[in-house]
Structure 1
Amino acid sequence: MSYSALEIANLLYRYAELMDSGDLSGVAALFRNAKLKSAGSDVLRDEVSMLDQWRRHVRIYPCGTPRTKHVITNPIIEIDEAAGRARCRSYYTVLQATDTLPLQVVAAGRYHDEFEQTDGRWHFSYRDYSLFDLQGDLSQHLNLPAPAGGRVEAI
């Protein structure tokens, strides 16, 4: 694995680590120079909007975390070193356990990410959050109203 591929993979895993530790400010900082596409047609373009969305929607427990584990797998990383750009497709699985919810998978889907290199460092430039494939019980994870069809759109 090239150093660039390792650095990009580490960004994927750093996202999971920050989200699972409840560091929503840290998550927003990872996407400081990025656009985020959510389940609707919304595209967030600034760190403040991203942080606001995560603070409104991700339930944080008294322990300071969302009581989740985001497992990111199967990264397919395509790098154009000369252009300083890369793309990655990966899978995510979100596990959760709370005092009232036994350990279980609450969501699974895919991330389609784009990266750029600035001053020799890779950073997110785009993430598509709309590729939400499998929904479990998100009632303990997200503060979102359930739509009439019962399917919650992931963020």
Structure 2
Amino acid sequence: MRFAGCGYLDVMKTIPLILICALFLTGCAQLPEFLQPRRDSAETGTGGAGGETRPQSRPAAVAPVTGARTVAEFDTVSAEDKAAASAPAPVGGSLGITVASLGSPSEPGLWLKTPLVKSEQAGRVSYAGTGKSVAVTLIPIDGPATAGSRMSLSAFQTLGAPLTGLPEVEVFTAS
């Protein structure tokens, strides 16, 4: 029994087309730099919706060296900046407790990406496991408030939290 239009040659023409589409779609995740969105206005604090100014609480951090492989190579926040961020400071209100996973080690600085905030702001994170806290930049991400958060490598190191664990941290606004 033969189906009209479904011959061997039709199938052989379709397979390469499917493979080409699959290769094209996998390449979309790695766009060249000139096609990626500009980040200069977000980092300088002059962009944003409606011309609003974004907070500038991130300490100056150096990007990891190309080819970094160890924790020390990815953790580029200086000991002085970590000490200043962990110095006791008054905090605002508690935003809640969240489970923190390790964020991208290639993103330098002291930050927490969390659904507990709606706009980027200065804040503080404390970890009961060590009793330490650190000043961070709170960066909003989509999701319910009960969803987990992603924390920077430098913040994990400063808090003394296990890099392979999922520590519960309490998040505060800055005073």
TM-score relative to the length of structure 1: 0.22
TM-score relative to the length of structure 2: 0.21
More helix by share: 2
Larger Rg belongs to: 2
More strand by share: 1
